[in-house]
Structure 1
Amino acid sequence: MAAAPDGRSLSRKSTSFSLHSPSLNSLRLRRIFDLFDRNGDGLITIDEISQALCRLGLDAAPSELESAIRSHIPPGSAGLRFDDFEALHRELDRDFFGGGESELEPVDAAVQEQTDLHEAFNVFDENGDGYISAKELQAVLKKLGMVEGQELARVEQMIGSVDRNRDGRVDFAEFKDMMRNVINKRT
């Protein structure tokens, strides 16, 4: 990241709520994909997208969705696979939010770090209650294909190692301390 004349770091304008970590971006998209894929068949049909948008209060005519999405559905397929969904997301990000542009703006590094940590925390806090439970952590670890996610007892040990107040879950302050310790160990 470059520095502005006043010492603040420079960052590309935020686009479609993109995180700085590609693996967290992929995990966030995977969660969205899984929410849209109502029948769990690994495909998102235009009907499933339409239903999801309706639940969000964003009514869209299936014909409009089809014209916007059809080019990302492989020939002979009934819907979008995850890779197709990622490609659609990148295209929408670029077309509507200017993703991929190199425009830089000054950003306070501390504010950016806090924002990134909140976004990362929210990836793990699947139910949005402000805490990461062992089951939520296990779900994320499984989605990432990590062997640690196979045993709940092991995940509970991971939670316990950073759970200062011993309530069985990780709040944002505990998460932030854990992430800073991980970063400090790497440097």
Structure 2
Amino acid sequence: MSPLNTNDLQQIFDKLDQNGDGFVSLNEIKLLLERIGVQTSLDELESLVGKTSLDLLDFIFFYDTFVKRDQNETGKEDVNDLECDLSKAFKVYDLNGDGFISCEELQNVLSRLGLWNKHCGGDCKSMINMYDSNSDGKLDFEEFKNMMMATNS
């Protein structure tokens, strides 16, 4: 999964913190995870997090801990873990399950995460075209993997 920067995480946190109290509850985090296709129970979340609500720093720590994989002694992620993570991330974006990520699917997922705004001036087509090696206007898994590996570098 492509790492999010602090500004991205702040935007997501602010969207989740609907009452503006500076905390997000596990219920709100669970709803976000469900929106992107990750099913978990509140009990599982509480056992992972150790508390019932998170401030921004806790939220960033949660992301860093559970999204970024532990590295082995050489400082590189295990290839099988990385491939599995990328496959899961690809499925989050491939909403119709056809094996490709279209511009509409990319925009839909980014919107649900609070990272897309029609006024932000971004263009999904240009985002996809950067890594669309066969010029079919969508990303297959290998193109997606190349994009994620370039982002992680």
TM-score (norm 2): 0.53
| Pick aligned residue for 2:139 from 164, 167, 170 | 170
TM-aligned CA deviation for residue 28 of structure 1: 4.2
1:109 corresponds in structure 2 to 78
How many residues are matched?
103
| Pick aligned residue for 1:125 from 83, 89, 94 | 94
Q: Structure 2 counterpart of 1:156, which letter?
A: K
What 5-or-longer segments of structure 2 have no aligned partner?
A: 10-28, 50-71
Q: Structure 2 counterpart of 1:160, which letter?
A: N
Contact 1:164 / 1:174 at 8 angstroms: preserved in 2? yes
Contact 1:130 / 1:171 at 8 angstroms: preserved in 2? yes
- Structure 1 runs (4+) deviating above 6 angstroms are none
1:90 corresponds in structure 2 to 42
Contact 2:37 / 2:92 at 8 angstroms: preserved in 1? no
TM-score (norm 1): 0.44
Contact 1:28 / 1:123 at 8 angstroms: preserved in 2? no
Contact 1:138 / 1:155 at 8 angstroms: preserved in 2? yes
Between the aligned partners of 2:105 and 2:140, the Cα distance in structure 1 is 13
Q: Deviations over 1:9-44 (max 9, x none)?
A: xxxxxxxxxx8x898x965412459xxxxxxxxxxx
Q: Deviations over 1:34-92 (max 9, x none)?
A: xxxxxxxxxxxxxxxxxxxxxxxxxxxxxxxxxxxxxxxxxxxxxxxxxxxx9x72315
Between the aligned partners of 1:109 and 1:153, the Cα distance in structure 2 is 33
Between the aligned partners of 2:111 and 2:134, the Cα distance in structure 1 is 26
Q: Structure 2 counterpart of 1:158, which letter?
A: M
Decide whether aligned partners of structure 1 residues 182 and 153 sit closer, same or farther in structure 2, where only a CA change above 3 A counts: closer
Identity across aligned pairs (percent)?
34
The answer to whether 1:179 aligns with 2:131 is no
Once superposed, what is the RMSD of the aligned Cα atoms?
Answer: 3.8
The answer to whether 1:138 aligns with 2:117 is no
SS where residue 123 of structure 2 aligns? helix
The answer to whether 1:150 aligns with 2:102 is no
1:29 corresponds in structure 2 to 34
Decide whether aligned partners of structure 1 residues 162 and 116 sit closer, same or farther in structure 2, where only a CA change above 3 A counts: same
